[in-house]
Amino acid sequence: MRNPLSWDYLNAPLWDTPVWGPFSIGFVALCGIGFVVSLLAYYDVGRLSRRYPIARDEIQRGAAIAAVLFGLGLFFFTFRFLHVSAFGFYKRFWLYLVLLALLAEAAYYIWWARTVYPAKVRAAAAEELKRRYLEPASSGRRRGARRRRRSQARERVRS
């Protein structure tokens, strides 16, 4: 096997290299499974929003980006599998580029989960605590109903 990171290997013509190999089988499996999982996460975000309401928007955005990247990986591999040499999309370079983009997205969301998400959870907990203490206690009367003022004579009798 040649060096998988050499420029000649990445830009080798279709007739010079086999389509199926350990890297390509793993890549197709990763892209196929990742595409299905990211679509499920994108469209089933309603169920996730009940468990993780703070992360809902970020999960949906990440799933959309992942679906596009996995779809691009499958698109480029289809050119390679069908031996279509249009626009040079059959080259391994594109597959490696998609893999690099997927790794970058995974690194970003790992960073987000370790730094940004805990801060948002703490801020939401503080906001909930603040709202709980600022809400008027229910004393059986309607919200917005006015209290009756005690007359000054009653207050004198009490003191």
What is the per-residue DSSP string for the chain? ---TTSHHHHT--GGGS-S-SHHHHHHHHHHHHHHHHHHHHHHTHHHHHHH-TTTHHHHHHHHHHHHHHHHHHHHHHHHHHTT--GGGTTSHHHHHHHHHHHHHHHHHHHHIIIIIHHHHHHHHHHHHHHHHHHSPPP-SSPTTPPPPPPPHHHHHHH-
pTM recorded for the entire structure: 0.70
- Between 36 and 143, the more confident residue is 36
What does the pLDDT look like over 34-44, one tens digit per residue?
999 999 988 88
Query: Residue ranges per domain, the chain?
Result: 20-133
pLDDT of residue 100: 95
Report the percentage of the chain scoring pLDDT > 70: 76
pLDDT of residue 155: 59
Instruction: Kindly indicate the confidence band of residue 23, based on its pLDDT and cuts at 50, 70 and 90.
Output: confident
Instruction: Kindly indicate the confidence band of residue 146, based on its pLDDT and cuts at 50, 70 and 90.
Output: low
Query: pLDDT at residue 115 above 90?
Result: yes
Whole-number Cα distances in Å, 105 to 49, 70, 74, 89, 145: 21, 12, 17, 22, 54
